[in-house]
């Protein structure tokens, strides 16, 4: 299904699948309070080995159990305290190469977490390595796991990671379009793309202004799928494939991660795959504003006044606050369609990272009931978010003497809030809307979360849509 530059998308079956067999090693999953009793029932070789290495049962701790000839008889794995896939993701790192299956009894929630955690732990991004390493560990499907749900969530996560990890020389607006078209084609979705100067004639002037300086044409990617009679769900993604900062040029050190500035677009394309694969009863629309924020003689400038699709004029306080400029046209377009639910994903502000750190996405929402549903879904999916306020008093910071609104505002504080308030001006009042400001990147490696591109709040929103629309 995937394009050549999305190879990991098709790698799920290499690490997860099939049934237990005679050659697969059993992993005995035992609750912590039963682990010592379980060990005491094993043969002398296993008991002696556990004693000699000082094994003490702890949550998500593994013990390799030897045969008399030195081979691997099995594995004791102390069941994690929670059904977090990242707790289960500790398991593959404790094991040698081979085929495995889970033994023991546990509920469906843990079974799905085990399968998901296993696959997330074995993700790799090595396409630029001279000698890529083939997967060497595979887990049979745990009994009780919903294989379809796990597979689509793993595929969606791999897809986000691949897209974000790709360097900007191999992933520009055109390649991002190819990725969206590839996903759409697998599910029979329609795609319409508005490119280059067509953005002006089709009334997307802010997207055009941000992307016009690059030799790689800016574009709006518009994917639609599902029965028009079903509730309308629209996802909007920020697709800045590289952000130099424009004429307000970033320092070199601040450009090092700017290939990930299309992380919001990666999330909505991947979430769309999961929704379509599950055949959720929704009318899905995905809007991706794809640009490169470059420097040239045609670049937009500080203090320029830009037009927008909604008709509001925007004074440019800083060309490095470009993400909200491309999102505003896409959000206005989305609202023209009167969706039942509108969600945008964006790597929008450093201020959100200062407030919440790099691992906890910020949620802004104009509907308290919807916001609580999102937070609950994040808790259930072990994929949390934290709500920040759309604090109306800060709206005054966006005032401009020259235009209807400034893209940066007059205050250096509350930057994530003022960015969200800017976006809210382009959302029609009655549209239920959520804005996710996220990092889309792991700064270090932990079990199931390798350093590099990362899906954040993806499982939360899939859970929300499953619950809300009866999938």
Sign of CA dihedral 355, 421, 324, 155: positive
Other beta carbons within 10 angstroms of residue 58's beta carbon come to 10
Q: Is 259 a catalytic residue?
A: no
Number of H helices, E strands in the chain: 16, 18
pLDDT of residue 8: 58
Q: In whole angstroms, what is the distance from residue 211 CA to residue 173 CA?
A: 9
For the question of whether the overall pTM of this predicted structure is more than 0.75, the answer is yes
* Pair 15, 100: CB distance under 8 Å: no
pLDDT of residue 471: 58
pLDDT of residue 9: 58
Q: In whole angstroms, what is the distance from residue 178 CA to residue 2 CA?
A: 10
DSSP per-residue letters across 129-174: SSSPPPP-EEEPPPTT--HHHHHHHHHHHHHHHHHHHS-TTT-SHH
> Cα–Cα–Cα angle for 381, 228, 156, nearest 5°?
30
pLDDT of residue 70: 87
pLDDT of residue 12: 87
Q: In whole angstroms, what is the distance from residue 408 CA to residue 70 CA?
A: 65
Buried b (16+ CB within 10 A) or exposed e, 61-91: bbbbbeeeeeeebbbbbbbbeebbbbbbbbb
What residues have CB less than 8 Å from 468, skipping those under 6 apart?
341, 373
CA-to-CA dists, residue 349 to 180, 183, 318, 384, 418, angstroms: 25, 28, 13, 19, 10
Give the three-state DSSP class for 344: strand
* Pair 241, 261: CB distance under 8 Å: yes
How many residues comprise the chain? 471
User: Would you call 444 exposed, middle or buried from its count of C-beta atoms within 10 A (0-12, 13-18, 19+)?
Assistant: exposed
What residues have CB less than 8 Å from 393, skipping those under 6 apart?
none
Residue whose entry in the numeric block shows the structure tokens 């690059």: 214
Q: What is the pLDDT of residues 398-410, one digit of tens each?
A: 999 999 999 998 8
* Pair 459, 367: CB distance under 8 Å: no
Within this chain, domains 4-141 and 150-469 share the same CATH topology: no
Q: Give the residue among 149, 222, 156, 219 at the shortest CA–CA distance from 189.
A: 222
**So where are the chain's domains?**
4-141, 150-469
Of the residues 47, 61, 99, 250, only one is catalytic, namely 250
pLDDT of residue 224: 98
Give the three-state DSSP class for 216: coil
Backbone dihedral angles phi then psi of residue 101, each to the nearest 5 degrees: -145, 155
Provide the token pair at 430. Answer: 């009655």
Q: Is 310 a catalytic residue?
A: no
Sign of CA dihedral 230, 232, 233, 234: positive
Q: So what's the architecture of 150-469 in CATH?
A: 3-Layer(aba) Sandwich (3.40)
Q: Give the residue among 284, 116, 329, 102 at the shortest CA–CA distance from 187.
A: 284
Q: Name the stretches of the chain with pLDDT < 70.
A: 1-10, 471
Q: Give the residue among 27, 94, 31, 92 at the shortest CA–CA distance from 58.
A: 31
Of the residues 90, 259, 310, 324, only one is catalytic, namely 324
Q: Give the residue among 219, 227, 331, 365 at the shortest CA–CA distance from 284.
A: 227
pLDDT of residue 107: 87
Q: What is the pLDDT of residues 200-242, one digit of tens each?
A: 999 999 999 999 999 999 999 999 999 999 999 999 999 999 9
Reported CATH class of domain 4-141: alpha beta
């Amino acid at each position: 299904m995937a394009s050549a530059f999305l190879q990991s998308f098709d790698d799920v079956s290499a690490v997860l699948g099939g049934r237990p067999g005679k050659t697969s090693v059993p992993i005995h999953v035992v609750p912590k309070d039963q682990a010592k009793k379980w060990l005491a029932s094993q043969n002398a070789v296993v008991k002696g080995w556990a004693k000699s290495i000082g094994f003490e049962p702890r949550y998500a701790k593994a013990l390799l159990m030897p045969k008399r000839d030195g081979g691997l008889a099995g594995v004791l794995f102390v069941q994690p305290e929670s059904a977090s896939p990242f707790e289960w993701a500790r398991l593959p790192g404790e094991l040698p190469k081979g085929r495995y299956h889970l033994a023991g009894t546990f509920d469906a929630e843990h079974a799905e977490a085990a399968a998901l955690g296993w696959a997330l732990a074995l993700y790799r991004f090595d396409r630029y390595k001279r000698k890529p390493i083939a997967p060497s560990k595979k887990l049979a499907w745990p009994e009780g796991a919903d294989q379809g749900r796990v597979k689509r969530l793993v595929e969606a996560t791999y897809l986000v990671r691949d897209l974000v990890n790709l360097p900007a020389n191999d992933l520009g607006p055109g390649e991002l379009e190819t990725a969206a078209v590839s996903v759409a084609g697998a599910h029979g979705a329609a795609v319409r793309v508005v490119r280059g100067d067509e953005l002006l004639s089709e009334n997307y002037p802010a997207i055009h202004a941000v992307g016009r300086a690059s030799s790689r044409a800016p574009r709006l990617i518009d994917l639609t799928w599902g029965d028009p009679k079903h509730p309308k769900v629209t996802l909007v993604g920020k697709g800045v494939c590289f952000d130099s900062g424009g004429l307000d040029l970033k320092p070199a050190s601040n450009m090092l991660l700017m290939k990930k500035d299309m992380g919001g677009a990666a999330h909505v394309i991947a979430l769309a795959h999961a929704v379509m694969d599950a055949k959720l009863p929704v009318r899905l629309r995905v809007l991706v504003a794809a640009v490169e924020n470059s420097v040239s003689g045609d670049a937009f400038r500080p203090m320029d006044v830009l037009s927008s699709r909604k008709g509001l004029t925007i004074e440019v306080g800083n060309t490095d606050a470009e993400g909200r400029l491309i999102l505003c046209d896409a959000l206005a377009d989305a609202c023209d369609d009167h969706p039942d639910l509108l969600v945008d994903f964006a790597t929008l502000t450093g201020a959100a990272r200062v407030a919440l750190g790099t691992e906890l996405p910020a949620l802004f929402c104009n509907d308290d009931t919807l916001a609580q549903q999102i937070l609950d879904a994040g808790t259930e999916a072990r994929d949390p978010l934290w709500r920040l306020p759309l604090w109306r008093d800060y709206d005054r910071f966006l005032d401009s003497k020259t235009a209807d609104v400034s893209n940066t505002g007059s205050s250096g504080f509350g930057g994530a809030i003022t960015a969200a308030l800017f976006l809210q001006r382009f959302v029609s009042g009655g549209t239920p809307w959520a804005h996710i400001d996220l990092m889309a990147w792991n700064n270090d490696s932990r079990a199931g979360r390798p350093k590099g591109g990362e899906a954040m709040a993806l499982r939360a929103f899939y859970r929300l849509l499953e619950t809300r629309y009866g999938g």
